[in-house]
Structure 1
Amino acid sequence: MIKIATRLFIWLNTFSYKVISVLVVKENGGIHPKHRILNYHKFFLDNISVNDSVLDIGCGNGSVAYDLSKKAKRIVAVDIVEKNIKNAKEKFSNENLEYVLGDATNFEFGEKFNAIVLSNVLEHIENRIDFLSKIKVLSPKILIRVPLLNRDWLSVYKKETGMEYRLDSTHFIEYTEESFKEEIEESGLKIEKYYIKFGELYSIIKKYE
């Protein structure tokens, strides 16, 4: 009986998180309040320069790309979802910001950039080693933000007990520090520095000289 009750409340926890995420976006004019609370845009802004050309892969609603466009020289923002690109163009446009509809895992960019941004994107890609190996030739620097499995004890417990533990059902992986480091190394890249905040890992990735 206790096991059944525990599983029920854990399921409710997962379901509630998803519902809350949808509702707070609607309550806040289409923008998730996590952008403000986590202030994660600052990480990307702090690691680009005014003369940079930046590629934002998996740009979503365009809010990160827009903030980057207010500092960098040029931004190319790519997303695989047509609705995301449409909304981004409507809400977050700028003269130096170009939105592109496409799948970055097989898209031919035809140019190089000073930096690449992957903000909560890598975990959505199945063949991550191949993807990182492909994009590393496009830029000397990749700025990555990913959620961690051990963001709280309950997420780890959910996985241990065979329940849904992912923040998003489209995630192919929920990283630990160790698994993230292993994938970066396997991709022929190196972590210049990283830190963890609110259960997310922020890292500056570069190629070996």
Structure 2
Amino acid sequence: MNTNLDQIAEKYDSLHEDWKNLETTVRHKEFQNFIKHVNSYDSVLEIGLGDGAFTELLNSKFKRTIAVDGSSKAIEILSNNDKLKEVEFVHSYAESIPANIKSKNIVMSHILEHINEPIEALKNIKNNNMLDETVLYISVPNAMSLHRQVAVKMGLLNKETDLNDRDITLGHVRVYTPETLKRDIISSGLNIIEFGGVMIKPLTNRQIEKDWNKDIINGYIELGNHYPEICGDIYIIAKK
């Protein structure tokens, strides 16, 4: 077991307490990006659970929700959530999910940046957990986000792909650019159906949460539809 995952899960709420409302809003946008590609609501497989906000959205829409995480602590926390009582939790790393767990819909929101060998993990998911018609949604933080580019100009980062303190605290092992995300997905043998961004983010999460109202946030979310390469988060819809 990776004890670092358990430590992160145990204090995850405190790690993003200052911008939890913003994160919830962004997760709703991610959900919309994913759900428009779904053609069956029988089941969904979520890999990597975070604070469970995405899990709640999935569980409200699908007949069966299977939630996989490498942290037993994350599963323990979320299994006590009354909104997730019907969810089937599985303790497994993304690289080794049992082959008998398959779904027409798979979500990997903010998990690929945590995985040491992402291409191998994606290959295993493609071969073991995806059906021919499966829709796979993948989202990650974007190294080319405006706020990271500004950080380079300010001297806070040497380059956009450097890990900052928050990345390290959250257990990130890399920060993807649009190009490197596409490269890893193609290298795993998957086909990219759609690439997009979630929200233009010129400031840090804490600054946005403190100073912006919902109208401003929603405006920058909509703007992100037109400029995905510089959004705070980027996503890909993939199939076999």
TM-score range, shorter chain: 0.7 to 0.9
Deviations 1:20-54 (A, max 9, x none): x83762x78xxx22333323333233333453311
Does the CA-based 8 Å contact 2:24-2:53 persist in structure 1? no
The reply to whether residue 122 of structure 1 matches residue 112 of structure 2 is: yes
Residue 175 of structure 1 and its aligned partner are, at CA, apart by 0.9
Deviations 1:86-113 (A, max 9, x none): 1211123143x21122222123241321
Aligned residue identity for 2:150: L
The aligned length equals: 182
TM-score for both structures, normalised by structure 1: 0.76
CA distance in 2 between partners of 1:63 and 1:177 (Å): 25
Q: Which position in structure 2 is the counterpart of 1:34?
A: 22
Q: Which position in structure 2 is the counterpart of 1:154?
A: 150
* CA spacing shift, 1:197–1:102, aligned 2, 3 Å: same
Residue 184 of structure 1 and its aligned partner are, at CA, apart by 1.1
The reply to whether residue 93 of structure 1 matches residue 93 of structure 2 is: no
Residue 188 of structure 1 and its aligned partner are, at CA, apart by 0.7
* CA spacing shift, 1:192–1:84, aligned 2, 3 Å: same
Higher relative contact order (CA 8 A, sep 6+): 2
Does the CA-based 8 Å contact 1:145-1:201 persist in structure 2? yes
Deviations 1:52-109 (A, max 9, x none): 31110011232212211111121100111222111211123143x2112222212324
- Alignment counterpart, residue 73 of structure 1, candidates 17, 41, 63: 63
The reply to whether residue 145 of structure 1 matches residue 145 of structure 2 is: no
Q: Which position in structure 2 is the counterpart of 1:180?
A: 181
Does the CA-based 8 Å contact 2:47-2:108 persist in structure 1? yes
Q: Which position in structure 2 is the counterpart of 1:5?
A: none
Residue 183 of structure 1 and its aligned partner are, at CA, apart by 0.9
CA distance in 2 between partners of 1:173 and 1:155 (Å): 17
Q: Which position in structure 2 is the counterpart of 1:105?
A: 95
Q: Which runs of 5+ in 2 are unaligned?
A: 1-12, 200-231
TM-score for both structures, normalised by structure 2: 0.67
CA distance in 2 between partners of 1:104 and 1:161 (Å): 26
CA distance in 2 between partners of 1:50 and 1:107 (Å): 22
Q: Which runs of 5+ in 1 are unaligned?
A: 1-20
CA distance in 1 between partners of 2:38 and 2:161 (Å): 41
% same residue = 30
CA distance in 2 between partners of 1:144 and 1:88 (Å): 21
Aligned residue identity for 2:158: K
Deviations 1:162-207 (A, max 9, x none): 9743642121221111111111111111110111122111211111
CA distance in 2 between partners of 1:161 and 1:100 (Å): 35
Aligned residue identity for 2:52: G
Higher helix share: 2
Does the CA-based 8 Å contact 1:61-1:85 persist in structure 2? no
Q: Which position in structure 1 is the counterpart of 2:196?
A: 195
